[in-house]
Structure 1
Amino acid sequence: MSADVKSGNEPYDDINITPMLDLAYVLLVTFIILTTASVQGVKVNSPRTLAANQLAKPQTRAVTITKEGAVYLDAYPVTLEELSQRLSAMKAANPSLPVVLKADARTQYQKVTEVLEVAKKLDITELGLVTQREAQ
């Protein structure tokens, strides 16, 4: 047997890690896509309307009411007292504080009026109601 020919039992000098890196990159991209897609705030089923929706400004605060009646301020759960305190602090920093109210179509109307009363007490005049466009 010549010295140029190696037998099949010789140990490898290096390991090819390219397939392992390909798998790691695919898993990383999948994780990034799934993580960013799931962070979208509180989901509610908004009522439908033919009126055009106005785009929210970056300083706009969102108050969300779920069908169970839970109230959220910018995706954080709050009580009505906490909502009043936080909006009051935001109103002090920005006197023309725009607020949008996004309520589920099946929520109790009483809860919506309670949130509207909080906005009225704080003299928040830029208040919008979020709806969905009606399919035509």
Structure 2
Amino acid sequence: MQVNTEAKPYDTINVTPMLDLAYVLLVVFILMTTASVQGLSITLPKPSNKPSTEHHELKIVQVMPDGALLLNGVALSMGELESQLQAAHGRDAQMTVAIKGHTKARYEGVIAIVDLCNKLQINMALVTSRIGT
């Protein structure tokens, strides 16, 4: 039996393990980046099987494409809207604000209304509709 004592130098480097490591690091980076994205904190209402016999005030706030705010069809500024909602909340603590954003309105206008309702501790609902209706 003869043993080859002469070692041949390698001409190429096997990059497969290095690519495997790079792909694993890429996946970990993507997962950690998307996990750190934060959203809005909204408390959702609890469902109830009982029919509601109580009637509370409902205010509809519309956010228009030009940034205008409408409260039940009447144009208001953000300060006037806040005072109107505070007064309505003082009359009825269980009132609800329905937020209806126009499809071409900037999303920051809707978020400003959500933040205002959270600040005033008012119940809110987001109005949605099917596209084309």
* Counterpart Cα distance in 2 of 1:110 and 1:134: 20
**Could you say which residue in structure 2 is the equivalent of 1:3?**
none
Q: Deviations over 1:21-41 (max 9, x none)?
A: xxxxxxxxxxxxxxxxxxxxx
Instruction: Give the 3-state SS of the residue equivalent to 1:85 in structure 2.
Output: helix
The match for 2:107 among 85, 103, 109 is 109
Tell me the TM-score normalised to structure 1 length. 0.53
The match for 2:94 among 93, 96, 110 is 96
Check the 8 A contact 2:63/2:110 in 1, yes or no.
Answer: yes
State how 1:40-119 maps to structure 2 within 5 Å: 59-119=57-117
Q: Deviations over 1:95-135 (max 9, x none)?
A: 011110011111111111111111111101x2111111368
Q: Report the aligned-residue RMSD.
A: 1.8
Check the 8 A contact 2:56/2:92 in 1, yes or no.
Answer: no
Moved over 2 A (4+): none
State how 1:8-27 maps to structure 2 within 5 Å: none
1:127 aligns with 2:121: no
* Counterpart Cα distance in 2 of 1:130 and 1:58: 18
Gaps of 5+ in 1: 1-56
* Counterpart Cα distance in 1 of 2:67 and 2:90: 27
Q: Which has the higher contact order (CA 8 A, sep 6+)?
A: 1
Tell me the TM-score normalised to structure 2 length. 0.54
For these two proteins, the number of residue pairs brought into alignment is 78
Specify the structure having the higher radius of gyration (Cα).
2
